[in-house]
């Protein structure tokens, strides 16, 4: 495993204590990046990712990969500022930001309490923007080239009844990705997104722990199975690497064909 240009870089991954964020942290460490593992509350949340990442790095290379556990709630501006400063202080650099932290809340759209609506937007979209803002400020001062990866979703484009705030946050993430990419393209900052389809992680416990519900989910996926966090991490590593040096402003859908709409596999009109 060696993607061009990742060894020796420093990456901050938000929400890295589980699921896709954890897999991205591990994969970037395997590619030789120093990793800053953001966790939301307790240090034990991040420690497990740190342990997995360092274990998985080739023994001979372990000493070259450093890690930092950094607490921060991405819905809080002051936490984000502190977090980015802590990364820069520890590593003297910040080359890759992965905006992964995300939450969802189920509710009929005509009943969502305003504070619950705000909370999802605050974590998924405002948090991603503020992390990008603080990172870009640093990068412009340092005149460093770098990469931002946003973890969006197939719901960047597919509507999601009962999860309105989530759908809006991910739709917004597509726009955040494109706007930042255009604004900073001539200053060495690439901004892209990955859009996972249904992926087996804790956010999806409602169906990953129930065989019947899982079968219903899989029926909508042309490839007939959920994705894995490692498959998402591979795409994130690619976009972060110099292999993707000419790619910016794009959302890469990693969804087993979900956005091809399985229901249209058979002819449905004459």
Q: How far apart are CA 102 and CA 123, in angstroms?
A: 6
Of 105, 158, 168, 203, which lies in the binding site for ligand NAD, with binding defined by CB under 6 A? Answer: 203
Q: Is 151 one of the binding residues for ligand NAD (CB under 6 A)?
A: yes
Residue 32 or residue 151: which is nearer to ligand NAD going by CB? 151
Q: How far apart are CA 196 and CA 170, in angstroms?
A: 11
CA 56 to chain centre: 20
Catalytic residue among 39, 138, 166, 184: 166
Of 15, 32, 174, 256, which lies in the binding site for ligand NAD, with binding defined by CB under 6 A? Answer: 15
Q: Is 156 one of the binding residues for ligand NAD (CB under 6 A)?
A: no
Of residues 30 through 49, those in contact with ligand NAD by CB under 6 A are: 40
| Residue 232 near residue 194, CB atoms below 8 Å | yes
Which spans in the chain are helix H? Answer: 19-30, 43-56, 77-91, 114-121, 127-142, 164-184, 205-208, 211-219, 229-240
Q: Is 24 one of the binding residues for ligand NAD (CB under 6 A)?
A: no
Residue 163 among the catalytic residues:
no
> 3-class SS at 163?
coil
Count of residues engaged in binding ligand NAD, rule: CB under 6 A: 25
Give the interface with ligand NAD as residue ranges (CB under 6 A): 14-15, 17-21, 40, 73-75, 100-103, 123, 151, 153, 196, 198-199, 201-204
Catalytic residues: 166
């Amino acid at each position: 495993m060696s993607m061009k240009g990742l060894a020796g870089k420093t990456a901050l991954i938000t929400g890295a204590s589980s699921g896709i964020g954890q897999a991205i942290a591990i994969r970037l460490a395997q590619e030789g990046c120093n990793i800053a593992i953001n966790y939301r509350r307790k240090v034990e949340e991040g420690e497990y990712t740190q342990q997995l990442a360092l274990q998985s790095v080739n023994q001979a290379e372990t000493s070259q990969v450093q890690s930092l556990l950094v607490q921060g709630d991405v819905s809080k501006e002051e936490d984000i500022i502190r977090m980015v400063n802590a990364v820069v202080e520890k590593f003297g650099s910040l080359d890759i930001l992965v905006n992964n932290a995300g939450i969802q809340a189920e509710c009929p759209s005509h009943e969502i309490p305003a504070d619950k609506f705000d909370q999802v937007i605050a974590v998924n979209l405002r948090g991603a923007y503020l992390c990008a803002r603080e990172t870009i400020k640093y990068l412009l001062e340092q005149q460093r080239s770098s990469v931002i990866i946003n973890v969006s979703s197939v719901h960047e484009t597919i509507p999601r009844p009962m999860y309105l705030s989530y759908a809006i946050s991910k739709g917004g993430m597509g726009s955040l990705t494109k706007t930042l990419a255009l604004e900073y393209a001539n200053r060495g900052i690439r901004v892209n997104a990955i859009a996972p389809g249904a992926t087996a992680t804790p956010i999806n416990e409602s169906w990953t722990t129930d065989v019947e519900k899982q079968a219903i989910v899989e029926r909508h996926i042309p490839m007939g199975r959920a994705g894995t966090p490692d498959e998402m991490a591979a795409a994130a590593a690619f976009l972060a690497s110099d292999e993707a040096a000419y790619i910016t402003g794009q959302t890469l859908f990693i969804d087993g064909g979900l956005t091809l709409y399985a229901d249209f596999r058979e002819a449905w009109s004459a």
